[in-house]
Structure 1
Amino acid sequence: MTQAIQSQAQWLIATDLDGTLLDHYTYSHSAADSTLRQLEAAGIPVILNSSKTRDEMLNLRQSLHNRHPFIVENGSAIFIPQGYFPHMPETAVENSGYWVLEPGAPRRRILEFLRIDSEQHGAPYLNFAAATPADIVAATGLTYAQAEKANRRDYSEPLLWQGNESQKRAFIARANAAGFSTLQGGRFLHVLGQTDKGAATTLLKNIYQRYSERAYRLIASGDGPNDLDMLKAADIAVLVRSPAHPPPQLTGHPDLIVSRNTGPQGWAEAIQHILSRRAQIPK
């Protein structure tokens, strides 16, 4: 039985972008725009949580009219607009108008690992640092300008895997032994520090909680395996169907919604279903 949303709770929504809030093929978010406006009017923050870089996220936040903190590169860093909370969180640093928390690893360390590993075991993948803008455009469908932003990474490295599954498993084991994590996204295998979307979301939720007497509850939405840690951390988990792959397995979650439609249409459908439990939210 799906739990009722209680009026005394303060809700946060953490959401993936590609394939979830953005269409898998066109990257459009228009089908979700009305619901996003409704959430903003209701005072429910939408936290963008993606494998995308800071530069990519800044453009998208503007397009989405989003003013809230956001999480980049699969949980590697949290960007909080300065003054959003009464005080800067401990361990945060100031950077270009943001308070930044960095649970991930610097990209230079990841690239050094990839260099050494490739010398010993080969490189059955295309990684962004070694790719041309044209390579990234071909792999992602992004424009050249978007591809350049996608390659301005600080904390992670996406790999377009071109080897077999046995090679991938061996590579993942070597990355883990070297102190890194890997996450399989919709298109890419991401190498990053010992963090994930769920850990970063929980950290940010705890910061919100410090400044509220009401208990914060979390809705999380995503469509790929790299979203599972975020979905597991949520009070309500939303799996958005993809036109390109089946939903990842999320077993045992007490409140799981699987959308009927795909992408932003499916996202909006699921969020509206949740909001319908709460009559006081303006339509």
Structure 2
Amino acid sequence: MTKVMQPRAQWLVATDLDGTLLDHYSYSHSAADRTLQQLEAAGIPVILNSSKTRDEMLALRDSLHNRHPFISENGSAIFIPQGYFPERPECARDELGYWVLEPGATRRSILDFLRHDSDSYSAPYLNFANASAAEIVAATGLTLAQAEKANRRDYSEPLLWQGDETQKHAFIERANAAGFATLQGGRFLHLLGQTDKGAATTLLKQIYQHYSERTCCLIASGDGPNDLDMLSVADIAIIVRSPAHPPPHPSKQLAHHPDVIISRNIGPQGWAEAIQEIFSRPEQSGYLSNAK
């Protein structure tokens, strides 16, 4: 009997940016460039999944030579280049060369909530809509031009928390009661709709699977608590070490995950080493072997 060879999996790589694919301090991705080139040559899409805005991510996609779909503002919107799949996915709309899916809430509704909430309670935070470009630069380390892009948001609002934990917990409860979610990132508490990086990644993976004859498998990587939802839906989860904080505690979302890697090195170097480790496993060998 002739043995039927099973088709190899179609791997997808979803990754956070700041502190993961980009250095926490310099925002450089040079340590990951060779691995990114190998993944591209091997036909493995790298899906950028960040709290950053569409405009920020478009600029980064150019610098990374990335042509694949991306997910902005912590899972609030999925941008797919028009023509990337054979047809426009159901429920997507057209916008400037992209098919856009919007699991999140609008920024206008979020800011309305913040205005009403601050009328009744203190507002011990700096939010981007009320901050000057100079204040955003000071809080993030971005350039002025980058800070302006960061403030052109559509689906979420970053809050630089300046109060205590009791105030934060009370605020989160009020936001949840109003139908919003919060996510703690590396620097900011993000207020957004009832979505997250994991939900958006799962939706995009389903679209890939719909058009693929091979089984789609997912690697996800991140360095902060707001990445745990994405890591929990991945076949292989990579926690990238940060120079600024300890790795997020995986006790809840990842307690029973079958394959979790914690990088030895930090930032993009740690990311690249973890990816290389995965594709050097015997069952994955050959994926990157011909990529220069």
> What's the TM-score bracket when you normalise by the shorter of the two chains?
over 0.9
1:269 and 2:273 correspond: yes
SS at match of 2:201: helix
| Displacement of 1:252 | 2.1
**TM-score, structure 2 normalization:** 0.94
Q: How many residues align?
A: 278
**TM-score, structure 1 normalization:** 0.97
Which residue does the alignment assign to 1:221? Answer: 221
Distance in 2 of aligned mates of 1:142 and 1:68: 25
Distance in 2 of aligned mates of 1:43 and 1:36: 11
SS at match of 2:217: strand
Q: Deviations over 1:158-214 (max 9, x none)?
A: 000000000000000000000000000000000000000000000000000001121
> Given the alignment, which residue of 234, 244, 256 partners 1:252?
256
Which residue does the alignment assign to 1:146? Answer: 146
Amino-acid identity (%): 79
Which residue does the alignment assign to 2:50? Answer: 50
**What letter is aligned with 1:265?**
Q
SS at match of 1:179: coil
Distance in 1 of aligned mates of 2:30 and 2:152: 26
Distance in 1 of aligned mates of 2:28 and 2:126: 26
Q: Which runs of 5+ in 1 are unaligned?
A: 1-5
Distance in 2 of aligned mates of 1:212 and 1:26: 37
- Partners of 2:126 and 2:161 within 8 A in 1: yes
Q: Deviations over 1:21-43 (max 9, x none)?
A: 00000000000000000000000
Which residue does the alignment assign to 1:91? Answer: 91
RMSD, aligned CA: 0.9
| Displacement of 1:253 | 1.3
Which residue does the alignment assign to 1:279? Answer: 285
SS at match of 1:58: helix
Which residue does the alignment assign to 2:3? Answer: none
**What letter is aligned with 1:31?**
A
Distance in 2 of aligned mates of 1:85 and 1:10: 15
Distance in 2 of aligned mates of 1:133 and 1:239: 32
Which residue does the alignment assign to 1:37? Answer: 37
Distance in 1 of aligned mates of 2:212 and 2:60: 28
SS at match of 1:238: strand
| Displacement of 1:7 | 6.2
